Structure 1
Amino acid sequence: MSNIAILSPNKTAISETFIKNHKEKLRGNISYFYGGAIPNFVGDEYALINFEKKPSFIDRLKRMLPAFIYDRVPKSEYDPKEFFANALKEKKIEVVLAEFGTTAAEIYPICQQLNIPLVIFFFGFDVFMTNVQEFHKQNYKNMLQYASSSLVVSKSMIPVLKKFGADENKIIYNPASAHEDFFKLKPTFEQNNFISITRFVDKKAPYYTILAFAEVLKQMPNAKLNIIGDGFLKETCENLVNYLEIQDKVIFHGAVEKDTYMNLMENSIAYVQHSIQALSGDSEGTPVAIMEAQSAGLPVISTYHSGIPEIVIHEKTGFLTEEHNVKQMAHYLIEILKDKEKAKKMGEAGRVRIKENFSNEKHIDILQTVLEQAIKQKNS
């Protein structure tokens, strides 16, 4: 079996289910490296960081490492690139999968030095954000030349990567996918509940979702909106709800486990998300939460934004509006509430579309093939 390294900046977060999916579903001997631009950890096995002497309590806080790790690792001067390179050699890694272009931008010289093939998976911010593009401008050009392949979750990313000199023949379209468990859900469509699963960040524009829902309440006062997630805009959105005096209609659940939001999905009539291009340039790829909602049999009300129209078919599996058009989104929410048979038909059409075109099995098969081809090309 192939020795595959998966790299990401952080240990898998609730919003990074795609990384967890890759760790669990890819075939091979998987080593998961994470923690910083140059990884500091390998799975739950050990830290790569070595120190000359035992650090102070303040140093521990700065380094974000628990004390028991410091007490066990050998003491020597810390060189993150050297320790990461040594770990790749120790694990006999045959191919590196870098989750996010920003990760690849930092580690590609090490892969190049060790002659290890590099596969890059781009997801959204790492392509669209203008400050990321500017900061990594030269690194992106170099790493895209070295990389065996680059995978993107939406077709809107391809022109941007080509501007950095990426060979279009080495760009692979491989949208994210939903977990198989969501196909088992059976929404009742009995309650007037909407659900939104989001990070409270600029490109998700959760305040637009709230404003659209506030318009709905003027005609349909029995409706409710469940919002799941956290982020820096959450308090702003809570204040907006308080200002609009709809606290009993908009429920903020925070970050919850999968079982909780699956239960909320089954008791919802539709999924809603008003994604926009942020002023920073940040944009969606193909939002996993939208795929999960469609897999669960819910219609989706969202926007003509980045990869979303590749998933949601307007007037067939849901409704799409232009970015910032709150009134149009409210109109579609009301239409769903007034015609639950339409909601059911759209939801089922969305489930079928995801199963046929965006299954997790297909997603993993494409990624597995790309990784194996990278190893084969290096050995040929």
Structure 2
Amino acid sequence: MKIGLVLPSVPAYSETFFTSKIKGLQANGLEVVLFVNHFSSKTSLHCNVVSSPKFSKNKLKNSFISLHCFLKALFLGYASTRKLYLLDKKDNLSFAKRIKSIVINSHILTQKLDWLHFGFGTMAINRENVAEAIGAKMGVSFRGFDHYVYPLKNVGCYKILFSKKVKYHVLSEGMKSDLMNQLIPEENIIKITPAIDTNLFFNENSFENMPTFLTVARLHWIKGLDYILEAFSILNKRGFDFQYKIIGDGAEKERLQFLVHQLELNNKVHFLGKLEQDEVKQELLKTSYYIQYSHQEGFCNAVLEAQAMGKVCIVSDADGLIENVLDKKTGFVVPKRNPEALANKIEAVFNLNRDVKEFLIEKAVERIKSNFTFEKQINQFMDFYTK
């Protein structure tokens, strides 16, 4: 079986949710072809990588590139190209958009695949008919931003997609319910949660007199980091001693650093930047508590890794996080956008009896080992493609 996986770029080392899937499918005898917008030769993945057409700011040059791609699709994949044109016409796309569709998908139209799987819902926009055109089954994964946020800014962006015969992969029951509300049959929606390397991340917890907290996240407004800092400001004024580290980089770094300064937390809060996976593990070893207070979260691998390593996790009630952490059973869930409530929860959790914390950790570790391993995830994806 040959699987075509459409992604923005070749997965980086840290993107374990893709790399583990690809390696797992290959280990089970499936061939994987990557279709990417941005090609990188630096990859440990032993699979064919096909890059999309590259356009520049030069309109004349782009005209020649477009003509070349169109002719290539026409001569090397005439049947697929013709079918894509007719399917797009049936969806009432203009002539110009039909030609553009052929050009931007020319690198896929010449392929012979059993499945064409779009790694994010947004990757399937303007490509809704490509799988049918090449005679492949179509799969689409929704992971978070593409499901919850993008449609708010681009109303109706999935209208054509939701009218097609597609098998959907989602991360949570919440996502599944949302798609069912779009009148997509339940049997076409498969929940497969993220997974982690439990051989790398395992329980090594320790509690110290001064509580240490950690968050791993893009420095983006959607991660709710400003609310975490507000909560720690409240605790600091109460005389609560702590250290808080943030791993990650992003557009909000300067604003968050200034907020730390304004809240007089410079000696308490530390920005560590973007770290590799083994470096993240080393920071987790120094940490007792993990916080993920996002406004929206598809599921969050970092929270799984923290639980596997025996860290008491405090998360918001955003989307997949309420399935990732079971409130008062494997960690704690706090209503989002409420720094006062978060501050109170942090203080209450720190003051819990050590035996209670260790019981929570034990249950969390057991659940991770039972439900969120690479082996289980790959078995589910094999079922996704074969059943």
TM range (shorter): 0.7 to 0.9
* SS, match of residue 32 in structure 1: strand
**Alpha-carbon distance between aligned partners in 2 of 1:181 and 1:235, rounded to the nearest angstrom:** 36
Where does residue 287 of structure 1 map in the other structure? 300
8 Å CA contact 2:310–2:362 kept in 1: the answer is yes
* Identity across matched positions, percent: 24
1:350 aligns with 2:364: yes
**Matched residue SS, 2:127:** helix
Structure 1 residue 257: Cα displacement: 0.6
The corresponding residue for 1:138 is 159
Instruction: Using the TM superposition, name which of 41-50 and 168-177 deviates more.
Output: 41-50
**Structure 2 CA distance for aligned equivalents of residues 90 and 112 of structure 1:** 13
SS of corresponding position for 1:194: strand
> What secondary structure does 1:126 align onto?
helix
User: Matches of 1:123 and 1:48 in 2, distance apart?
Assistant: 22
SS at match of 1:106: coil
In the TM superposition, residue 13 of structure 1 has moved relative to its aligned partner by 4.8
Change in Cα spacing, 1:17 to 1:40, as seen in structure 2 (3 Å) is closer
Structure 1 residue 301 corresponds to structure 2 residue 314: yes
Say whether residues 1:331 and 2:344 are aligned partners.
Answer: yes
User: TM-score normalised to the size of structure 1?
Assistant: 0.81
User: 2:224–2:294: 8 Å Cα contact kept in structure 1?
Assistant: yes
Residues 169-222 of structure 1 deviation map (CA, whole Å, 9 limit, x = unaligned): 111111112222443351222352100011122321111111112222334553
Alpha-carbon contact 1:336-1:342 (below 8 Å) kept: no
Query: In the alignment, which residue of structure 2 is the partner of 1:372?
Result: 386
Aligned equivalents of 1:155 and 1:354: distance in 2?
17
Note the C-alpha offset of 1:90: 5.5
TM-score of the superposition, structure 2-length normalised? 0.80
**C-alpha contact (below 8 Å) 2:113/2:136 kept by paired residues:** yes
Amino acid corresponding to residue 257 of structure 2 in structure 1 = E
Q: C-alpha displacement at 1:318, in angstroms?
A: 1.3
Q: Offset of 1:228 from its aligned partner?
A: 0.8
Say whether residues 1:359 and 2:383 are aligned partners.
no
Shift of 1:40: 11
Q: Give the whole-Å Cα distance in 2 for the aligned partners of 1:45 and 1:92.
A: 14
Map of 1:150 onto structure 2: 168
The aligned residue for residue 10 of structure 1 is 9
Distance 1:40 1:267, change over 3 A: closer
1:128 aligns with 2:148: yes
Alignment partner of 1:96 is 2:95? no
- Matched AA of 1:77: H
What is the distance in 2 between the residues matched to 1:3 and 1:44? Answer: 11
**Which whole-Å CA distance do the structure 2 matches of 1:47 and 1:171 have between them?**
29
Give aligned pairs, total.
346
2:227 to 184, 187, 208: 208
Distance 1:46 1:140, change over 3 A: closer
Aligned amino acid, residue 138 of structure 1: K
State the shift of 1:107 in Å: 2.2
Q: CA deviation at 1:95?
A: 0.9
Matching residue of 1:114:
134
Give 1:81 deviation, angstroms: 5.0
Describe the shift of the 1:90–1:327 C-alpha distance in structure 2 as closer, same or farther (beyond 3 A). Answer: same
The answer to whether the 8 Å contact 1:152/1:174 transfers is yes
Quick check: 2:111–2:134 contact (8 Å CA) kept in 1? no
Q: CA 1:347 to 1:217, structure 2 compared with 1: closer, same or farther past 3 Å?
A: farther
| Alignment correspondent of 1:162 | 180
Q: How does 1:123-272 map to 2 (within 5 A)?
A: 123-129=143-149, 130-131=151-152, 134-142=155-163, 145-147=164-166, 149-190=167-208, 192-219=211-238, 221-272=240-291
DSSP-derived class of the 1:77 partner: helix
Cα displacement (A) at 1:304: 1.7
Give 1:86 deviation, angstroms.
Answer: 5.7
Structure 2: distance between partners of 1:313 and 1:272: 14
Cα distance in 1 for residues equivalent to 2:277 and 2:267: 24
Aligned partner of 2:18 in structure 1 is 19
**Structure 1: unaligned runs, 5 residues or longer:** 64-73, 277-282, 374-380
In structure 2, runs of 5+ residues without a counterpart are: 71-99
Per the TM alignment, residue 317 of structure 1 is displaced from its structure 2 partner at its CA by: 1.4
1:256 match: secondary structure = coil
Work out the CA distance in 1 between the residues paired with 2:66 and 2:141.
35
Q: Which amino acid aligns with 2:249?
A: D
Q: 1 CA distance for matches of 2:137 and 2:48?
A: 24
Q: Secondary structure at the match of 2:322?
A: helix
Evaluate the alpha carbon distance shift between residue 173 and residue 326 of structure 1 in structure 2; reply closer, same or farther with a 3 A threshold: same
Q: Structure 2: which amino acid aligns with 1:20?
A: T
* Cα distance, 1:59–1:368 mapped onto 2, change above 3 Å: farther
> Cα 1:309–1:295, aligned 2, differ >3 Å: closer, same or farther?
same
Cα offset for 1:239?
0.8
Deviations along 1:243-283, one digit per CA (max 9) or x if unpaired, are 0111111000111111111111111111101122xxxxxx3
CA RMSD after TM alignment: 3.1
Q: Distance in 1 between matches of 2:49 and 2:158?
A: 34
* Distance in 2 between residues matched to 1:353 and 1:319, nearest whole Å: 15
Asked whether the equivalents of residues 203 and 309 of structure 2 are also in contact (C-alpha less than 8 Å), the reply is yes
Corresponding residue number in structure 2 for 1:376: none
